[in-house]
Amino acid sequence: MKRNFKIRIAYISTYLLFLIVSFILGYNPGKEIAFNFISFLVYMLKILPCAFILIGLFEVWVKREVIEKHLGEESGIRGYVWVILLAGTIAGGLLVAFPIAYSLYNKGAKLSIVFTYIGAAAICRVPMTIYEASFMGVKFTMIRLLISLPLVIITSILLGDYLNKRNYKMAEGK
Amino acid sequence: MYYTYAITGLILLISFFINKQKTIKAIKISFIKIKKIVPTFISMLIFVSIILFLFPDEVISNFLNNSSKFLSVLLASLIGSITLMPGFAAFPLSGILLTKGVPYMVLSAFTTTLMMVGIITFPLEKEYFGVKVTLIRNTISFFIALIVAVITGIFFGEVFQ
């Protein structure tokens, strides 16, 4: 842990030093990288606080039994429908999907549902899908959704089964 | 974006009225979780800033506008896997590429891998799910994207041209 921390400090300071020197010398690639960094930082600062506050509320308010019943081992097909609807309405893509999926898992959602959530959050968020269709056409978007979603569900079930057989557990306390 | 804040604010307010203690606890949990993940996020941002510099829109366009369709699909899925681009930037770019004559199947490979496969988000994903699961999930997603691309090509009559 200590060593990792040192490595991290080392490359972050190298990076910062590079950006500062680039600005002093007027080195354009360095400036562009700094610009990229800031624009992505702003983008993430816009979504993340919201996402994490919702996760916090979720952890406090939603009872474990509720998640176990609807998204747990006994949930059946309905569980997948619920989790896809949930994924479809939450903005932010994968970055936000990981911590949410992790919270779902810790509240008792089964693995195949957790992976379906991640896949669905990537490919079928409602606002993004409408946006996509407006640029690429409805046909393109429909094909993508109708092919990828079943594949996501099937592979999530297979992956869930495989990991259950190996007694997979996610890291604790993230 | 703003409606997300409005809804979060509203939920937070309702929660606060129902139970003050629980709401404060929720906010504490959020802060602890953010604090734990911030270092990983910073490393990720550093990678993103460099990768986006190496793959600006023009470079991506050049890669996707290859004469061989199947090579383009492969390149598109590789670039989509490596780069990280929010949807509000990716789809307009794809729309432009479409008018430039890039086949649907290539753009399908590009956008699907962009959304599902994250080499840049790897450090973040592994924090939660571990290295092995992260590798498996991304590999599966990559192949799903390829399958979707080929079927898109079939539907748009691009595969057997």
Write a three-state SS string for chain A.
Answer: CHHHHHHHHHHHHHHHHHHHHHHHHCCHHHHHHHHHHHHHHHHHHHHHHHHHHHHHHHHHHCCHHHHHHHHCCCCHHHHHHHHHHHHHHCCCHHHHHHHHHHHHHHCCCCHHHHHHHHHHHHHCCHHHHHHHHHHHCHHHHHHHHHHHHHHHHHHHHHHHHHHHHCCCCCCCCC
Confidence at B1, pLDDT banded by 50, 70, 90: low
**Amino acid B4: pLDDT:** 79
Q: What are B82-136's pLDDT values in tens digits?
A: 988 877 788 999 999 999 889 999 999 999 999 999 999 998 999 999 999 999 9
- Domain segments of chain A: what residues? 1-47, 62-174
pLDDT score, position B161: 65
Residues A148/A123, Cβ–Cβ less than 8 Å = yes
Do A159 and B140 make contact, defined as CB atoms within 8 angstroms? yes
A155: nearest Cα among B49, B141, B110, B63: B141
Q: Which residue is closest to A54 within chain B, CA to CA?
A: B8
Chains A and B form CB pairs within 8 A to the count of 184
B147 CA: distance to closest CA in chain A (Å): 8
How does pLDDT run across B15-36, given as a tens digit for each residue?
999 999 999 999 999 999 999 9
Output DSSP code: residue B84: -
**Cβ pair A102:B116 closer than 8 A:** no
Where are chain B's structural domains?
1-43, 55-155
Q: Which residues of B touch A170 (CB under 8 A)?
A: 128-130
Residue spans of alpha helices (H) in chain B? 2-18, 20-54, 57-64, 69-82, 87-99, 104-116, 122-129, 131-155
**DSSP single-letter state for residue B157:** T
pLDDT for residue A1: 55
| Helices A138-165, B104-116: inter-axial angle, 10-degree rounding | 40
* Residue that is written with structure tokens 């896809």 in the block: A84
* Joined tokens for residue A94: 């994968």
> What mean pLDDT comes out for the span A58-62?
93
Cβ-based contacts of A119 with chain B (< 8 Å): 116, 141, 144
- Looking at residue B3, its pLDDT comes to 78
Nearest chain A CA: its distance from B26 CA (Å): 4
Q: What's the pLDDT tens digit per position in A126-170?
A: 888 999 999 999 999 999 999 999 999 999 999 999 999 998 888
What is the pTM assigned to this prediction? 0.90
Count the neighbouring beta carbons within 10 Å of the beta carbon of residue A161.
12
- Among B30, B50, B77, the strongest candidate for a mutation testing the A interface, having the largest count of A CBs within 10 A, is B30
Minimum CA–CA partner of A92 in chain B: B86
Q: Do B37 and A174 touch (CB under 8 A)?
A: yes
For residues A56-80, average pLDDT: 92
Residue of B28, B45, B137 with shortest CB distance to A37? B45
Task: Give B84→chain A minimum CA distance, Å.
Answer: 10
User: Looking up tokens 């509000």, which residue turns up?
Assistant: B88
pLDDT top residue among A173 and B131: B131
**Are B144 and A148 inside 8 Å of each other by CB?**
yes
**How high is the pLDDT of residue A169?**
87
Tokens of A172: 């604790």
Residue with tokens 């490393």: B43
Q: How close does chain B come to A111, measured CA to CA in Å?
A: 11
On chain A, the residues whose CB falls within 8 A of the CB of B130 are 168, 170-171
pLDDT in the model for residue B151: 96
ipTM of this complex? 0.90
Closest CB from A8, A52, A140 relative to B152:
A140
Cα B108 to Cα B158: distance, rounded to the nearest angstrom:
12
